[in-house]
Chain A
Amino acid sequence: MITFKNVSKRYPDGFVALNNVDLAIKSGEMVFLTGHSGAGKSTLLKLLASIERPTSGVIAISGQNIAQLKPAAIPYLRRKIGFVFQDHKLLFDRSVFDNVLLPLQISGFDSKSMATRARAALDKVGLLQKEKSMPIALSGGERQRLCIARAVVHRPAILIADEPTGNLDIAYARDIMTMFNSFNQVGVTVLIATHDASLLENTQHRVLSLKQGRLAA
């Protein structure tokens, strides 16, 4: 599903964020990506979303080399991926429901199936009762769940989460991990970047650890 071959990313100021990274994530796999801040986690995720391009190497998603993607093709790559952002990136001028609707509008679903899918996604994260609320009225945990609903509403093949349990208490964090597990069980490839050691305890899933831009074994 996702392969990195000799991927390096060096920023214009000379900082090397990723250094010859090789990795392969199979379709339907759930993988944790861990490391200290500055280890290259965010860079790796940005490369996957084509927000940044690697300095060298090949990144393939479903066999497509995204390191050489034309700008016009980037939106279609991003539609295959659901993103859970660390800072949520919600739109505060529209309701919870309309926030979840946005990816569907972007992908061009018809109006009828949009509402059904949006409600289904809100139901999965337990926010159906709040569909008319504004994001400003939501708690931190609810905002995170809204962000997850928006990430999965268009049923992407890949789900990428950046510090999804960042500022949440343990109970909330466990809820959210249960959600990710359930998405993975229906076949979604899940990649979670986190430095939260408690998430990694007792996990059966693969853990990739980045240290100074290199993948540790």
Chain B
Amino acid sequence: MISAWLSQHGRALLLTIKQLIHNPITNLCSILVMGIALSLPTGVYILMESMQSLSGQISSAPQMSLFVKTTASRQDIDSIKQRLESDARIVDFQFISKDAALRQLQQDNGLTNIAASLERNPLPDAFIVHTQKDGTAALEQLRAALQNWPEIELVQFDSDWVERLDAILDLGRLIMLMLSTLLSIAIVAIMFNTIRLQILTKRDEIEISKLIGATDSFIQRPFLYFGAIQGLSGGIVAWLIAAFLVDRMNRQLVDLTQLYSTDFQLHFLAITDSLSLLIFSAWLGWLGARISVASHLWQIEPR
């Protein structure tokens, strides 16, 4: 029973592959069209993921600088330390006295002369505070609270560009979603039409098969396999296109990122993402075939 079931599926698969080989150019063209269509959202996704990890690196250790008023006394500093220690939102902090800051300034190449020419130390005492990862809204709240302390001159928290990046990423995700939705519909429509034409050319075969006792699923099976295999092939083409583009762009990015002394690179699709792409594209092909079969096969009844 199971072997009969397997051999029925095996035969459907074989028929599909024969069908693919029988019309190589037509089939390659539709696979290419699907691949190119899928490579667009895939590319946007790769860009988003790479930028996400960039913003993740930064915001993984949120950090702010507290500059103490120059008029603050030793007791004030100690009291700040105590309050920072007791705040649960703060992971740890580091005190940099004005003397230490000046020494560092003096050691810094190029600034030695400027530091030496100073009559007195203009630098304030400062704390560098590492906070928990609570999202930008919570961080902003903490910043405002610290700013209200009387001894604090300024709390600097450079969350602006992180927020901007997040907004860009949100926009990118929206674009990706819209692209994938539209292009998925296009792929389903392409497959619908391909299968419709196949059904028309196999009209006799379908009618005769029905006459000699073929079930609907027997008749549908090769078409569904065809859709899934073409979809899968489209997914593979999309993967290859994306891999090629990432490789080319990363070579170009090396020059650009050296100028900005960062190491931004496009990450290639992870295994799970690659698998999702292939499964999704196969499913799209299958879906197009399924809809087409459902709307055309019933019209062919033996008379």
| Residue from A72, A76, A108 within 8 A of B4 (CB atoms) | A108
Query: For B11, what are the chain A residues with a Cβ–Cβ distance below 8 Å?
Result: 105
Query: For B5, what are the chain A residues with a Cβ–Cβ distance below 8 Å?
Result: 108
Q: A91-B205, A109-B4 are in contact. Are A49 and B218 (CB under 8 A)?
A: no
| Residue from A51, A105, A107, A109 within 8 A of B211 (CB atoms) | A51
In the assembled complex, the Cα of A93 lies from the Cα of B22 at a distance in Å of 12
Query: For A75, what are the chain B residues with a Cβ–Cβ distance below 8 Å?
Result: 210, 213-216, 218
A106 pairs with B211, CB closer than 8 A: no
Query: For B210, what are the chain A residues with a Cβ–Cβ distance below 8 Å?
Result: 75
| A89 interface residue (CB < 8 Å to B) | yes
B209 pairs with A78, CB closer than 8 A: no
Q: A51-B303, A89-B208, A91-B205 are in contact. Are A111 and B213 (CB under 8 A)?
A: no
How many chain A residues have a CB neighbour from B under 8 Å? 23
Query: In the complex, how many angstroms separate the beta carbon of A6 from the nearest chain B beta carbon?
Result: 25
Interface centre among A51, A102, A105 (most CB of B within 10 A): A105
| B163 interface residue (CB < 8 Å to A) | no
The chain B residue sitting closest to A93, CB to CB, is: B205
Q: A51-B303, A91-B204, A91-B205 are in contact. Are A108 and B211 (CB under 8 A)?
A: no
Q: Which of A70-125 touch B at CB < 8 Å?
A: 72, 75-79, 83, 85, 89, 91, 93, 102-103, 105-111
Query: For B3, what are the chain A residues with a Cβ–Cβ distance below 8 Å?
Result: 110
| B302 interface residue (CB < 8 Å to A) | yes
| A9 interface residue (CB < 8 Å to B) | no
B8 pairs with A78, CB closer than 8 A: no
In the assembled complex, the Cα of A34 lies from the Cα of B207 at a distance in Å of 27
Inter-chain contact total with CB atoms closer than 8 Å: 56
The chain B residue sitting closest to A150, CB to CB, is: B212
Interface centre among A102, A106, A109 (most CB of B within 10 A): A106
Query: For B218, what are the chain A residues with a Cβ–Cβ distance below 8 Å?
Result: 75, 106
The chain B residue sitting closest to A89, CB to CB, is: B208
| B7 interface residue (CB < 8 Å to A) | yes
The chain A residue sitting closest to B303, CB to CB, is: A51
Chain A interface main SS type: helix
B213 pairs with A51, CB closer than 8 A: no
A83 pairs with B212, CB closer than 8 A: yes
B4 pairs with A78, CB closer than 8 A: no
| Residue from B209, B211, B216 within 8 A of A49 (CB atoms) | B211
How many chain B residues have a CB neighbour from A under 8 Å? 22
Per-residue A-contact encoding for B47-82, CB less than 8 Å = 1, 0 else? 000000000000000000000000000000000000
Query: For B208, what are the chain A residues with a Cβ–Cβ distance below 8 Å?
Result: 89, 91, 102
Query: For B207, what are the chain A residues with a Cβ–Cβ distance below 8 Å?
Result: 89
A102 pairs with B209, CB closer than 8 A: yes
Query: For A93, what are the chain B residues with a Cβ–Cβ distance below 8 Å?
Result: 205
Interface centre among A49, A75, A77, A107 (most CB of B within 10 A): A75
Q: Which of B196-253 touch A at CB < 8 Å?
A: 204-205, 207-216, 218
Per-residue A-contact encoding for B146-158, CB less than 8 Å = 1, 0 else? 0000000000000
| Residue from A85, A107, A109, A110 within 8 A of B213 (CB atoms) | A107
Query: For B302, what are the chain A residues with a Cβ–Cβ distance below 8 Å?
Result: 49, 51
Query: For A150, what are the chain B residues with a Cβ–Cβ distance below 8 Å?
Result: 212
Query: For A76, what are the chain B residues with a Cβ–Cβ distance below 8 Å?
Result: 213
B211 pairs with A110, CB closer than 8 A: no
| Residue from B205, B213, B216, B301 within 8 A of A78 (CB atoms) | B213
Query: In the complex, how many angstroms separate the beta carbon of B19 from the nearest chain A beta carbon?
Result: 11
Query: For A105, what are the chain B residues with a Cβ–Cβ distance below 8 Å?
Result: 8, 11
In the assembled complex, the Cα of A105 lies from the Cα of B208 at a distance in Å of 13
In the assembled complex, the Cα of A79 lies from the Cα of B8 at a distance in Å of 16
Query: For A51, what are the chain B residues with a Cβ–Cβ distance below 8 Å?
Result: 211, 301-303
| Residue from B4, B213, B215, B303 within 8 A of A103 (CB atoms) | B213
In the assembled complex, the Cα of A105 lies from the Cα of B4 at a distance in Å of 9
Q: A91-B204, A91-B205 are in contact. Are A111 and B7 (CB under 8 A)?
A: yes
The chain A residue sitting closest to B201, CB to CB, is: A93
Beyond the given pairs A91-B204, A105-B8, A106-B215, 18 more chain A to chain B contacts, judged by CB atoms under 8 angstroms and listed by A's residue number, are A49-B211, A51-B211, A51-B302, A72-B215, A75-B215, A75-B218, A79-B212, A79-B213, A89-B204, A89-B207, A91-B208, A102-B208, A103-B212, A106-B212, A106-B213, A106-B218, A107-B213, A108-B5
What are 14 sample pairs from A and B whose C-beta atoms fall under 8 A apart? Answer: A51-B302, A72-B215, A78-B212, A89-B207, A89-B211, A91-B204, A91-B205, A93-B205, A102-B208, A106-B213, A106-B214, A106-B215, A108-B8, A110-B7
Counting from the closest, the 9 A-B pairs by CB-CB distance are: A79-B213, A78-B213, A108-B4, A106-B214, A75-B215, A75-B213, A89-B208, A103-B212, A51-B302
Task: Give A residues with C-beta under 8 Å from B.
Answer: 49, 51, 72, 75-79, 83, 85, 89, 91, 93, 102-103, 105-111, 150
